[in-house]
Structure 1
Amino acid sequence: MADLSNIIHILPTMKSGADLFSALEVLPEYDEVIRETEVPVRLMALSDLYRIYVPSKMSLEIYSKMYLALLRSLQKKGTKLAVQQKNQNYKGMLQQEYSGIMGGSDSFTIIGASGIGKSSAISRAITLITENRVIEVENPYTKIIPCICVQCPFDSSVKGMLLEILRKVDEMIDSKYYENALRARTTTDMLIGNVSQVALNHIGLLVVDEIQNVCNSKNGKSLVGMLTQLINNSGISICMVGTPESAVFFEQAVQLARRSLGLRYDVMEYGTDFRNFCEIVFSYQYVKQKTEITDGIMEWLYEHTSGNVSVVVSLIHDAQEIAILSGKEVLNLEALNEAYQKRLSMLHGFIHMEQKKQTSKLKKKVSVTVTDVRTSAEEKHSGDFTIAGLVEDAKTENGDIVQLLKVYMPVVEVAV
């Protein structure tokens, strides 16, 4: 039994540096002998590629953010303020008038492109922080679930979200909150008070995944408003996880923006981390002929995945599957390209857009003097130019824009 007065010792010791990296890493067992086994055995073992987890800077930041958020949330439980909030929530359920005594700004977001490993990083962080156990507190006796993960409903239904939270709590501590709410046909207003009370008693950190669903729903702002009220009435920390489109939604108003400060990530850049990830995944080979990864293969993988780690894993997995089924039994560029063309055709448009975004360069602004236009322009601006920039320079120097344009492109003058 734990005591809330000594809350910092309830959670496992916070890790950092090399210890944290090692604890987060997941590398399934691999024996090269498997390359000589039968085809069905190798195809089944090939799915181990999806179990590989190589930590990155994102993983370390997410772990630290979630650990501290959970610690702040647990510190509020058992305090005098928490008892006052329980009484206030009970009155609120009767009178339908809620007021947040505990308050708090303990919400944050984790926003990043789809497939970069946000959910995997969160899952690994939760496993380390909570050790997959429910905390039993002696004084006063209660069971606390360190972290609960729910998914934002596709229609952003407030009632649906509240009921899902109760169902998850029942699943973890064998209670009957969800069943009682259904039997009583509780209204949404009463559910908010009920869930606030349950969260105050039993929940440390609430993770709401797929929060981008609020963007295209008429109930989006209502759902975020409900989460804000839940924070104020329970004092728990709430983590909202979504894709970049959700950031546009939260930036619409200050009351939304202040609730969404947090972490933001993009696909991996081509560098040491990406190369290390490719080397690890590529080493799990189940084809008969083993090959070593080269710089050319790593560059090809980056060009055809835009640095999205989930696409890299899928590409290497499918390339080996095709090589085994076709009898070629080798993981090389030919196999990778065949997998890219046959299995990832639906992603080609997204990958090309990412490539264009990463490789595009800003046009250089042209600055010229109009005196001796032809020689001066050729000497200073042999690279990119914009017509708008040339027009601006012509205005500044009182020059002839037609003469300036002739330096860069064919110009035909027509008498009117």
Structure 2
Amino acid sequence: MTNLSDIINVLPRMKSGDDLITALEVLPGYNPEIRNGDVSVRLMALSDLYRVYIPSQMSLEIYSKLYLAFLRSMQKKGTKLAVQQQNQNYRAIMQQEYSGIMGGSDSFTIIGKSGIGKSSAISRAINLITENKVIEADNPYTHVVPCVIVQCPFDSSVKGLLLEVLRKVDEVLDTKYYQNALRARATTDMLIGSVSQVALNHIGMLVVDEIQNVANSKNGKSLIGSLTQLINNSGISICMVGTPESTRFFESAMQLARRSVGLQYTTMSYDKYFQEFCKVMFRYQYVKQRTEITEGIIEWLYEHSAGITSVVVALVHDAQEIAILSGKEILNLESLNAAYQQRLSFLHGYIQPSISQGKQTSKIKRKAPVPTAMVTENETSDGRISIADLFAKAKNESIDIVQLLKSNMSVVEVAV
């Protein structure tokens, strides 16, 4: 490549449709014969489940958003305005005179619930957009890191974030910006000027993950302000990634809301994609007895994962691990339920409210529906046992009251 203005002709062609889905998809190789292998071999191979990536509609939208943002950012480099901004950034470092010539509002957010695959989608998209880790240019002569990914500090420290950006650039380009900043004991104001200059010359796009940390920190608005100044002084695109917790922060003021326009996602619905995702996960079986996935198992997985794909992967992985270690060697509802009870206990409070299917899925074979009768305080549906007696029995014998009620009457669970 000789000219940064020709970046659109150098980047991989923007994909869409089935071509994009195929390019984003990751399906590790699987040999059914491994089910007859040693326990240690199977347990090690079981980790391949975490490498599976099946693109969703969210993946396609994130790819398109990042591709266009990166392209806009790169087209600004090497222009007359970029040269003028370099001079202004030098004055900012030496004389503390800030002036943003590049301007623009090239920031956006990707907000979604934890575990739905935001970071994985971003990683896959960036790998597809930037096939090379470094873009080399002769006119002007420079090396550009296509994308720098950093995490928002837990205390929203502006200085900590800026130093991390310099450190990431040094890792790729083998430069010494980070060491020089530490040696000079640079203040936050000096660092903003330095990072702006580095970003203008060497960074295509900046991704700040875990941005929800700004919501619970007194330094939150200062950090967002520094990112705004970085945009104005460098012209690069900045993507902020976080959980819905950050939404309240961005909605609190107009100047923050302007910076948070972007993509928002919730847990996925019980649709064709979720069903196909579960079927693909069940192909990777490392227990000796192979089983086929059923509609009942898919519904169970949805109810016990709240529609969060990472929880589905954890359930299928841990269920097989428990089955192998216990010697049962089968992936079924019993092993899945054992994984849910033993390994995911901390998530029960977040998952249980999602039950909305309105049907029992603890067994593959479902019985005919039983009419739900009105139950009074002193009488159950069969007229023999009172609710008070059941509560007393559950308390005295330390029995789960929900299971006890289910065994004596028709109980319908509803979403709250």
Name the TM-score, length of structure 1 as normaliser: 0.85
Contact 2:103/2:233, CA 8 A, preserved across alignment: yes
Change in 2 beyond 3 A, CA 1:115/1:100: same
Q: Counterpart in 1 of 2:56?
A: 56
Q: How large is the Cα RMSD of the aligned pairs?
A: 1.3
Give the SS at the match of 2:260.
coil
Contact 2:88/2:99, CA 8 A, preserved across alignment: yes
Change in 2 beyond 3 A, CA 1:358/1:105: farther
Q: Counterpart in 1 of 2:298?
A: 298
Superimposed CA distance per residue, residues 95-152 of structure 1 (whole angstroms, 9 cap, x where no aligned partner): 2121111111110000000000000000000100011420000111100011000000
Superimposed CA distance per residue, residues 293-320 of structure 1 (whole angstroms, 9 cap, x where no aligned partner): 0000000000111110000000000000
Aligned-pair identity in percent equals 75
Q: Which amino acid aligns with 2:215?
A: C
Q: How far apart, CA to CA, are the structure 1 residues paired with 2:357 and 2:82?
A: 49
Name the TM-score, length of structure 2 as normaliser: 0.85
Q: Which amino acid aligns with 1:7?
A: I
Give the SS at the match of 1:285.
coil
Contact 1:109/1:241, CA 8 A, preserved across alignment: yes
Contact 1:81/1:101, CA 8 A, preserved across alignment: yes
Q: Counterpart in 2 of 1:243?
A: 243
Q: How far apart, CA to CA, are the structure 1 residues paired with 2:357 and 2:287?
A: 35
Q: Counterpart in 2 of 1:155?
A: 155
Q: Counterpart in 2 of 1:210?
A: 210
Deviation for aligned residue 1:91 = 1.1
Q: How far apart, CA to CA, are the structure 1 residues paired with 2:36 and 2:66?
A: 44
Q: Which amino acid aligns with 1:104?
A: G
> Which of structure 1's runs of 4+ aligned residues deviate more than 2 A?
353-359
Q: How far apart, CA to CA, are the structure 1 residues paired with 2:306 and 2:164?
A: 36
Q: How far apart, CA to CA, are the structure 1 residues paired with 2:252 and 2:210?
A: 19
Change in 2 beyond 3 A, CA 1:54/1:240: same
Superimposed CA distance per residue, residues 27-78 of structure 1 (whole angstroms, 9 cap, x where no aligned partner): 0000000000010000000000000000000000000000000000000000
Q: Counterpart in 1 of 2:328?
A: 328
Q: Counterpart in 2 of 1:381?
A: none
Contact 2:2/2:138, CA 8 A, preserved across alignment: yes
Q: How far apart, CA to CA, are the structure 2 residues paired with 1:259 and 1:330?
A: 50
Deviation for aligned residue 1:3 = 1.5
Q: Which amino acid aligns with 2:168?
A: K
Q: Counterpart in 1 of 2:380?
A: none
Residue 118 of structure 2 is aligned to residue 118 of structure 1 = yes
Q: Which amino acid aligns with 1:314?
A: A
Change in 2 beyond 3 A, CA 1:2/1:284: farther
Superimposed CA distance per residue, residues 133-175 of structure 1 (whole angstroms, 9 cap, x where no aligned partner): 2000011110001100000000000000000000000001111
Instruction: Give structure 1 stretches of 5+ with no counterpart.
Output: 360-416
Change in 2 beyond 3 A, CA 1:283/1:191: same
Q: Counterpart in 2 of 1:223?
A: 223
Superimposed CA distance per residue, residues 72-92 of structure 1 (whole angstroms, 9 cap, x where no aligned partner): 000000000000111111112
Q: Counterpart in 1 of 2:233?
A: 233
Change in 2 beyond 3 A, CA 1:2/1:315: farther
Contact 1:46/1:317, CA 8 A, preserved across alignment: yes
Q: Counterpart in 1 of 2:129?
A: 129
Residue 39 of structure 2 is aligned to residue 39 of structure 1 = yes
Give the SS at the match of 1:306.
coil
Q: Counterpart in 1 of 2:143?
A: 143
Shifted more, 93-102 versus 281-290: the winner is 93-102
Give the SS at the match of 1:78.
coil
Q: Counterpart in 1 of 2:261?
A: 261
Instruction: Give structure 2 stretches of 5+ with no counterpart.
Output: 360-416
Q: Counterpart in 2 of 1:100?
A: 100
Q: Counterpart in 2 of 1:16?
A: 16
Give the SS at the match of 1:97.
coil
Give the SS at the match of 2:216.
coil
Q: Which amino acid aligns with 2:309?
A: V
Contact 1:2/1:135, CA 8 A, preserved across alignment: no
Deviation for aligned residue 1:274 = 0.2
Q: Counterpart in 1 of 2:169?
A: 169
Q: Counterpart in 2 of 1:351?
A: 351
Shifted more, 94-103 versus 246-255: the winner is 94-103
Q: Which amino acid aligns with 2:257?
A: A
Change in 2 beyond 3 A, CA 1:175/1:272: same
Q: How many residues align?
A: 359
Q: How far apart, CA to CA, are the structure 2 residues paired with 1:131 and 1:267?
A: 30
